[in-house]
Amino acid sequence: MYPTSPDKLLFTPGPLITSATVKEAMLRDLGSLDRDFLATIRNIRTRLLDLGPYSHEDYECVLMQGSGTFVVESVISSAIPRDGKLLVLVNGAYGRRIAQTARVHGIELDVFEVAENRKFTPELVAEYLSSRIGITHVAVVHCETTSGILNQVEEIGHVVHRAGASYIVDAMSSFGAVPIDMAASHIDYLISSANKCIEGVPGFGFILVNRRALESAKGHARTLSLDLYDQWASMEANGHFRFTPPIQTLLAFEQALNELDEEGGVHARGERYKANHIALCRGMKDIGFEVYLAEEDQSFIITSFRYSSNPAFRFADFYEKLWTAGFAIYPGKLSHESCFRIGSIGRITVVEIEALLEAIRRVLNDMGVHWVREEVG
């Protein structure tokens, strides 16, 4: 029998493991107009811009209730005018979700889709844009957690800028661990969420946005609650959310920002995640699993591994046994490949990665899956 625990070690792209002090920060009741809470909102907005660092003269930070998808929908439904046309670069499920969002809102849409193991390069995007007319906005996912691939958002940004289009980047799973230069990349809208690399809890997301682009979006919103411009205008005018905010989530996030600073900022957090990823891939290869992506395309956020070809391997059993042992991984989300995913982010270190690897060895042995490594050379 495996030991059981009510709290699992989460090896996912978010929600993920948070520190005890982040959780403790939620043990407080505040009103949405309480001066302490309004100070928290101001503090979070300022510090998110400082993470770039992004110029306070040129960029704004807007907080929006809901999951990451809510925040992406806020941008898509608010940024694009009625006569605009959106190009979505798709190499995974989350790019497809952006396209689906545009369709729901009746936005004119063009989709450029490539294989899920192929990253977008500036050459690909430039060639595509040269054959299209009328595109006013381009959207791409930075780290597409369907596979773990990392798209070249900075280089793509130069191409989008030369084409005269606005640039929307879904940095849900990368912001806070992978440096992103909005100005150099010509990014107009950078989108992320509380419960990813900053290691907060779910409940809101945020948009870092070029002020000119934000001001030009006035009146474009297709929804009331997700109106990005009005949300910003309200925060600028009176400091608070238009509708009930996730107060405890924001208090937790403020503490998470403190802990990000204590760790050494975005670079230091990225280095910890990178060490986790290296240990994970080395251990999984030793066990016998194959990484789905080419090494040069792989992020250190989440990694897809191909199913074992051993007839004794059944992913449902593998997942359930690991879960019972206290380790939660993610099923695959790829369209045409049988893979599962393991995240390297959250309040984990190489120690937890090694514990997971040992659990995987025990589970495979229990399933009767025995690996024979091929020696190289």
Whole-number pLDDT of residue 371: 62
- The DSSP bridge pattern shows strands 59-65 and 166-170 to be unpaired
Same domain, 248 and 292: no
Pick from 198, 171, 268: which is nearest to 44 by CA? 198
SS3 assignment, position 286 = helix
Task: For residue 153, tell me if it sits in a domain.
Answer: yes
SS3 assignment, position 53 = coil
Neighbour count for residue 312 (Cβ, 10 Å): 11
Whole-number pLDDT of residue 1: 31
- Domain total in the chain: 2
Same domain, 257 and 285: no
Query: What CATH number does the domain containing 116 carry?
Result: 3.40.640.10
Task: For residue 3, tell me if it sits in a domain.
Answer: no
Same domain, 64 and 202: yes
Residue 375 host element (H or E): none
- What range defines the domain where residue 159 resides? 21-262
Whole-number pLDDT of residue 337: 87
Same domain, 120 and 251: yes
Whole-number pLDDT of residue 7: 78
Same domain, 213 and 107: yes
What are residue 281's phi and psi, to 5 degrees?
-65, -40
Compute, in degrees rounded to 10, the torsion defined by CA atoms 166, 172, 173, 176: 90
Same domain, 315 and 335: yes
Query: What CATH number does the domain containing 337 carry?
Result: 3.90.1150.10
Regions of the chain with pLDDT less than 50? 1-5, 372, 374-377
The string of pLDDT tens digits covering residues 314-370 is 999 999 999 999 999 999 878 788 999 999 999 999 999 999 999 999 999 999 997
Task: For residue 15, tell me if it sits in a domain.
Answer: no
Same domain, 253 and 127: yes
- The DSSP bridge pattern shows strands 59-65 and 330-331 to be unpaired
Q: Write the Ramachandran bin of 170: left for phi over 0, alpha for psi from -120 to 50, otherwise beta.
A: beta
Task: For residue 5, tell me if it sits in a domain.
Answer: no
Q: Got the DSSP string for 290-303?
A: -BSS-GGGB-SSEE
Task: For residue 10, tell me if it sits in a domain.
Answer: no
Domain boundary among 208, 229, 262: 262
Which residues contribute to the annotated binding site for substrate? 341
Whole-number pLDDT of residue 6: 60
Same domain, 28 and 159: yes
Same domain, 223 and 304: no
CA–CA gap between residue 204 and residue 278 (Å, rounded):
30
The string of pLDDT tens digits covering residues 165-215 is 999 999 999 999 999 999 999 999 999 999 999 999 999 999 999 999 999
Whole-number pLDDT of residue 70: 97
What are residue 207's phi and psi, to 5 degrees?
-125, 125
Pick from 175, 95, 68: which is nearest to 86 by CA? 95
Pick from 218, 229, 54, 213: which is nearest to 138 by CA? 213
Domain boundary among 262, 290, 313: 262
SS3 assignment, position 349 = coil
User: Distances from the Cα of 163 to the Cαs of 76, 88, 133, 181, 233, in angstroms?
Assistant: 19, 15, 10, 19, 30
Pick from 240, 213, 218: which is nearest to 229 by CA? 218
Q: H helices within the chain, ranges in order?
A: 20-24, 35-51, 68-79, 93-104, 122-130, 153-162, 182-185, 211-216, 228-238, 247-263, 265-287, 315-324, 350-367
Which residues contribute to the annotated binding site? 341
